[in-house]
Amino acid sequence: MKILVTGGAGFIGSNFCHYCFSNEPSSQIEKIVVVDKLGYSGSIENIAGLMGKKNFEFIQADIGDQKRMEQILFEEKIEAIVHFAAESHVDRSIDDPGLFVQSNVVGTYKLLESAFVYFSSLSPEKKERFRFIHISTDEVYGSIPMDGAPTKEGGLYAPSSPYSASKAASDHFVAAYYKTYGLPALITHSSNNYGPRQHPEKMIPHMICNALEEKQLPVYGQGLNVRDWIYVEDHCEGVWKLLLKGRPGEVYHIGKGSGISNIELVKKICALLDTFFPRSSGKSYAELIRFVADRPGHDLRYALDVSKMKKEIGWQAQVDLDRGLQKTLFWYVENRDWVQSVMNKGYTLKRQGLRGTKLI
């Protein structure tokens, strides 16, 4: 299989590449081609360990460059596209919605056009094998009640932020290209990912990095918002299984199938830090927790019904939250140079009461 991975120098995309070369897929992959424009969240360091492999290639390009993407697809004779590339931080989307429209909506449309031009040229046998997997988010469904049942595939879309709205729009374009043009695409909705190589602006690495530097641990509102967290390697395995068994035109939920409030999560991180890297003062890291003004449009709870993946694909997440957090903590402690290089880029928010708030 020859796979094109968009956003492959980002968090989940790079972990997918590492997973493929270190696990079961390695014997079935002829080549992985990564396309990434190397924006603020993409880093060549994320895939540095793969650059010397003969069956791996990195190309710096923008998925919105249709001619370039068509050229890559034809030259590399791609058999599957895994589309991770996206702007993904909600706070950034509040700051600059247009960037998210351009990247997530227009970029996905342009990629679909490139894929369709290429797909149309394939023989019937190769068309049968071709796949386009679009990686999306549970956030497109909006908030659900605390006592509500987890959202099933086909649930009502109710995005709350410019980020989730842009992902919802891109989902609809992918579905339309399947229904109208026959492009063999499928959509995944994932819960919150965490693990190695995640940008330090995201919640879990942000808390880890701040704590180790004795900085405050900011928690929105009262920290009661509930999220399901999936260790990134589990997510990558789920995507690989869908490449092999997923049905075009279908939607699949990839998550752990559990939930925890933000404040409980931060306290778990503090407890791990207290155990493995105690403060010289002898005080708990939990003392650094500070509640801050809530984010505009902050959804209370996301929860996905993940039973379809288990029933149809034979996959379920394996890494429990405590073990995943411990693995993640040690990765960030052992890779402080990577953290510093990413944090040096910085970013300042400007809108919606977030003006002047420094993410990093």
For the CA atoms of 80, 85, 88, 93, what is the dihedral angle to 10 degrees?
-130
Q: In percent, how much of the chain has pLDDT > 70?
A: 96
DSSP 164: H
Q: Which of 68, 81, 7 is nearest to 39 (CA)?
A: 7
Per-residue pLDDT tens over the stretch 299-330 = 999 999 999 999 999 999 999 999 999 999 99
Q: Which two tokens mark 143? A: 């908030």
CB 199 within 8 A of CB 205: yes
Per-residue pLDDT tens over the stretch 22-51 = 988 888 999 999 999 998 788 899 999 999
Asked if the model's pLDDT at residue 294 lies above 50, the reply is yes
Catalytic residue among 19, 163, 177, 332: 163
Helices in 293-357 by DSSP H: which ranges?
307-308, 321-334, 336-343
The β-bridge partners of 133 are: 82, 186
Residue type, 14: S
Average pLDDT over residues 72-90: 95
Average pLDDT over residues 96-125: 97
pLDDT at 357: 40
Name the more confident of 276 and 296: 276
Q: Which of 29, 26, 17, 38 is nearest to 232 (CA)?
A: 17
Measured N-to-C along each axis, helices 203-212 and 262-276 cross at an angle, to the nearest 10 degrees, of 40
- Grade residue 257 by pLDDT with cuts at 50, 70 and 90: very high
Catalytic residue among 76, 139, 171, 233: 139
Asked if the model's pLDDT at residue 260 lies above 90, the reply is yes
Average pLDDT over residues 150-175: 97
pLDDT at 184: 98
Q: How far apart are CA 152 and CA 252, in angstroms?
A: 9
Q: How far apart are CA 133 and CA 77, in angstroms?
A: 17
Catalytic residue among 138, 201, 234, 237: 138
- Domain 200-227+260-294+320-350 in the same topology as domain 2-191+230-259+303-319: no
- Grade residue 347 by pLDDT with cuts at 50, 70 and 90: low
Q: In percent, how much of the chain has pLDDT > 90?
A: 88
pLDDT at 353: 46
Picking from 82-91, 177-186, 227-236, which range would have the lowest pLDDT averaged per residue?
A: 82-91
Superfamily of domain 200-227+260-294+320-350: UDP-galactose 4-epimerase, domain 1 (3.90.25.10)
Q: How far apart are CA 41 and CA 200, in angstroms?
A: 9
From start to end of the chain, where are the E strands? Answer: 2-6, 31-36, 56-60, 80-83, 131-137, 185-190, 192-194, 217-220, 226-227, 229-231, 251-254, 260-261, 289-292
Look over the chain and give the mean of its residue pLDDT values, rounded to a whole number.
94
Asked if the model's pLDDT at residue 352 lies above 60, the reply is no
Residue 23 phi, psi dihedral angles, 5° rounding: -135, -165
Average pLDDT over residues 179-186: 98
Please indicate whether residue 138 is annotated as part of the active site.
yes
Residue type, 148: G
pLDDT at 351: 43
Q: Where are the domains of the chain?
A: 2-191+230-259+303-319, 200-227+260-294+320-350
Check: CATH 3.40.50.720 for 2-191+230-259+303-319?
yes
Asked if the model's pLDDT at residue 222 lies above 50, the reply is yes
Asked if the model's pLDDT at residue 262 lies above 70, the reply is yes
Please indicate whether residue 139 is annotated as part of the active site.
yes
| Three-state secondary structure call for residue 114 | helix
Name the more confident of 222 and 343: 222
When computed from its CA atoms, the radius of gyration of the chain, rounded to whole angstroms, is 20
CB 301 within 8 A of CB 226: yes
Q: Which of 280, 256, 265, 237 is nearest to 329 (CA)?
A: 265
pLDDT at 297: 87
pLDDT at 258: 92
Q: Which of 193, 248, 228, 245 is nearest to 14 (CA)?
A: 193
pLDDT at 346: 59
Name the more confident of 135 and 27: 135
Q: Which of 157, 1, 195 is nearest to 82 (CA)?
A: 1
Q: How far apart are CA 19 and CA 10, in angstroms?
A: 14
